[in-house]
A and B are shown apart, each in its own frame.
Chain A
């Protein structure tokens, strides 16, 4: 068998071993059809660079990053030219520094809420309501657990921009969840 033939066989085994997990990762960013495109684009790109993979890093981790990159590329093409603002979801303050819209404590823990199917689906809907620039940072930092430097590189923004967007994304998501909890648990 030629080296290329061996690579093709090797690649097929990689697809079968890692493909399912990579498809789940792409689905975090994209609907099904686009997620499959991202996995295909990512794996074919990985195949081209397979000879460059030195085996020092974990193969799954290498493929994960490639598919995240491919997913972000497709997501960028899909985002609308103008996205909504999240300003209404951020805390507001009086001139003296105290918060305007004071709310109470959440009565249920995350663990309790996650036991309920409708709450999990509601959380996922809330994440998807965030504009692209905030949703992507949240997914990369809080779900994928890339660090600030890696996230900055993936999004081609500064580390400071990652931190600012992440904090705003978390606060906006907190507010969306707060509204959602009121509705779901009423």
Chain B
């Protein structure tokens, strides 16, 4: 397996959707290619960074809904006329 093929298969590898024989080829290549190993590592860290940044940002920003927005939403609800 060459580097190009490995990087093209990264998503299937990470999602554990590679067939066993291809997974073996993938692992064998990683054993010999530090560049691909670094790329895989940074790919995995990218997933953690993107999720982590969004989750941390939301944890630190207010999750309370502004009262004027609540009132506007409630006013917009169709009311019974009787």
User: Footprint of B on A, CB under 8 Å?
Assistant: 2, 4-5, 8, 11-12, 15-16, 19-21, 23-24, 27-28, 36, 39-40, 43-44, 47, 91, 93, 96-99, 102-106, 109-111, 113-114, 119-120, 123-124, 127, 138, 142-143, 163, 166-167, 170-171, 173-174, 177-178
Neighbour of B65 across the interface among A16, A142, A178, CB < 8 A:
A16
Q: How far is the CA of A20 from the CA of B22 in the complex (A)?
A: 46
Bound-state CA distance A93–B8 (Å) is: 11
The answer on a CB contact under 8 Å between B46 and A170 is yes
What CA separation (Å) do A36 and B70 show in the bound complex? 10
Q: Could you tell me the distance between the alpha carbons of A8 and B77 in the complex, rounded to whole angstroms?
A: 7
- Report the interface size for chain B: residues with CB under 8 A from the other chain: 43
Considering the complex, give the chain A residue whose CB is closest to the CB of B43. A174
Residue-wise, chain B 42-57 has the 8 Å CB interface mask toward A (1 for contact) of 1101111111111011
With a CB–CB cut-off of 8 A, which chain B residues contact A11?
A: 77
Residues in chain B near residue A166, CB distance under 8 A: 11
A19-B69 in contact (CB<8A): yes
Kindly identify which residue among A39, A47, A96, A142 contacts B2, using a CB–CB cutoff of 8 Å: A96
Closest residue on chain B to residue A173 by CB atoms:
B46
Q: Complex: how many Å from CA A72 to CA B59?
A: 23
Whether B65 pairs with A177 at a CB distance below 8 angstroms is no
Please tell me if B10 contacts chain A, counting CB pairs below 8 Å.
yes
Given A40-B73, A143-B50, A97 and B80 contact (CB-CB distance below 8 Å) = no
Q: Collect the chain A residues with CB atoms within 8 Å of residue B69's CB.
A: 19, 23, 36, 39
With a cutoff of 8 Å between Cβ atoms, the chain B residues found around residue A36 in the complex are: 69
A108 to B10, CA, bound (A): 21
Contacts A/B (CB < 8 Å), 11 sampled = A23-B69, A39-B69, A105-B38, A110-B48, A123-B49, A123-B53, A124-B54, A167-B10, A171-B10, A174-B46, A177-B42
Residues of B23-53 at the interface with A, using a CB-CB cut-off of 8 Å, are: 35-36, 38-39, 41-43, 45-53
Task: Knowing A23-B65, A43-B73, A120-B56, say if A99 contacts B49 (CB, 8 Å).
Answer: no
Contact of B79 among A4, A16, A40, A93 (CB under 8 A): A4
Q: Are A124 and B53 in contact, CB atoms less than 8 angstroms apart? A: yes
User: Taking CB as reference atom, which chain A residue is nearest B42?
Assistant: A106
Per-position contact with A for B1-31: 1 when CB-CB < 8 Å, else 0?
0111101001100000000000000000000
B29 to chain A, nearest CB (A): 11
Residue in A8, A15, A40 whose Cβ sees the most chain B Cβ within 10 Å:
A15
**A16 pairs with B52, CB closer than 8 A:** no
